[in-house]
Structure 1
Amino acid sequence: MKTKSFLIVAMLIALISGNLFAEKETDIVPTYPGSSCYHDDKIGYEEFFVGVGQTSDGKAEIRKVEGYIRHRFCYVPSGRSQLEIIKNYEEAVLKNGGSVFSTLNKKECVKAFMKKGHPKHYQTKYEYMQLPSYAGKYFSGIIPTDTVDYYVCVVTAKVDGKVVYSLVTIETKPMDKGMISLENLDAGLVTKGHIAIYDIYFETGKSEIKGESYDALKTIAEYLNTHTDKQYLVVGHTDNVGDFEANIKLSNVRANAVVDRLIVNHSVNKEQLKSYGVGPAAPVSSNSTDEGKAKNRRVEIVEQ
């Protein structure tokens, strides 16, 4: 099993190093070594629903993503189990710097997701009808890079005594900075534990929040109010222009202002939030250019 896992990891590294997004093809994740694939559909740019978790009542949580989709059905080599397939892809994603969204083992949950998540891909061929009926295990993860994010979804089943699996890969462009939504809030916090917000605007050198920040604050509050079991830091960041201590103070009062606005105007529980300012101490780009400075001036939401 270790040898097979190593092969998948090595193949992933080789494939990810290429510029695949420009080719409109999602061959980013290889099939399990020795697999015999009987269906390979390069669907193109479509929406897809990725299972990212399981609720307390056993239902699948799903996230809609858009990108270039490739969908394969394969038989596994004799003697390989459903669990082994899932574990190998899980290990491969993690070793390539990715994150695991979900590993579902409850059959009813997997079946419900398969029918809800991407039903149109089960309507054209009889093979597609088999997997939802026999689905046993489900895995999903993401491998983020600077230019492309790679979603990986694997579903296993046992049909007529043989283990089969569906491998879906989706190439998506990474989240655009300055375009906050519930989807990219969730994606950033799930995969990285933090997300930079670029559309909260302040008066120059002050902590007063401008009116055009309303939509971003409303979206953040909506997300927080649906994740009340978690706590978050609101962290202020500046560029390196001016005095260091003054920037630390400014970033701190701006973070405080965001927290106050979320609590007072958007009914976020104050126990969920803490504010902190780090000034220019944690840049995400060089301050040598105006573009870099703009990237460094931000508010970040950090899951604790």
Structure 2
Amino acid sequence: MAIACVALMPMATMAALLDFPGNAVLAGEKINERGSYKVPVGAWQNGELPSVKAEGEVMQQAWKITATGLTTLQILDPLKKQLTDDGFKVVFECATDACGGFDFRFETDVIPEPVMHVDLGDFRFLSAERKTDDTPEYVTLLVSRSQNAGFVQLVRVGEPTDETALVTTTTSPALISISEPPPAEQPALPLEQALKEKGHYILEDLVFQTGSSDLGVGDFASLAALADYIKAHPDRTFALVGHTDAEGSLAGNIALSKKRAASVVRRLINDYGVDKKQISAEGNGFLSPRATNMTEDGRAQNRRVEVIDTSTR
């Protein structure tokens, strides 16, 4: 078995399936010449992600399309059409909440940030199958975006491809925004409205002690509002999820982010009387940035704790 990894590189010559737009670059690639991959075939529900175990050559690519204001549907549609024109049948397709949101994303194997970026509030997924002489071939597409770029993860599982027949290219016209200039950023929703409509809310006013995972001393308006909301909905559950900037290792940042989320959970229980059965702490490290990590302002925005409504009914 051989595994080859390439990150942050220009167009490669490995065989693949699709013609990407001219302003796309292959940001990362991983190939397992003989392996297996769980292909999602349904939405996350009841604690499980329906999947099919596919075996063969596993090729995983991350593509970055440099353009502002792209929509995930705009990115996915031409790739989907190429697959169906090539004889693939769509097995499953979904968008964000219909996929299962946070749980779907983290039960799906994704090339890590910053090579492949996934916005937990805006992504689309598609899995497709094609059979040749009863031998199945699977392709999955995970599409998301940032303010300045679109991102696509392509996974192909099947027998080794014929490089003379199937070559990934970037000869299609460049993909540009269908809404230039990008729409102005909308004002943040109040906590109650955000949790009802979007299922998550960033606790913007929290302050942690310097170099520590402990929540700072004092009252925080967002915690009081969150505690009231949780106690008003005793049938629901919530996760406090910590996030960090990209400085340091992923493992260290995940540990730090979970500790900070746990500090918020303790404050909600001890100071606000929230039922501990309704809340949990999770850490996501730097895997879901909301701004660039190249500036101090961006890194500050990425250091945050948000609450996610994890109820399914």
Please, what TM-score do these two structures have when normalized by structure 1?
Answer: 0.41
Larger Rg over CA atoms = 1
Q: Comparing both chains, which one has the higher relative contact order based on Cα–Cα distances under 8 Å and sequence gaps of 6 or more?
A: 2
Q: Higher helix share goes to which structure?
A: 1
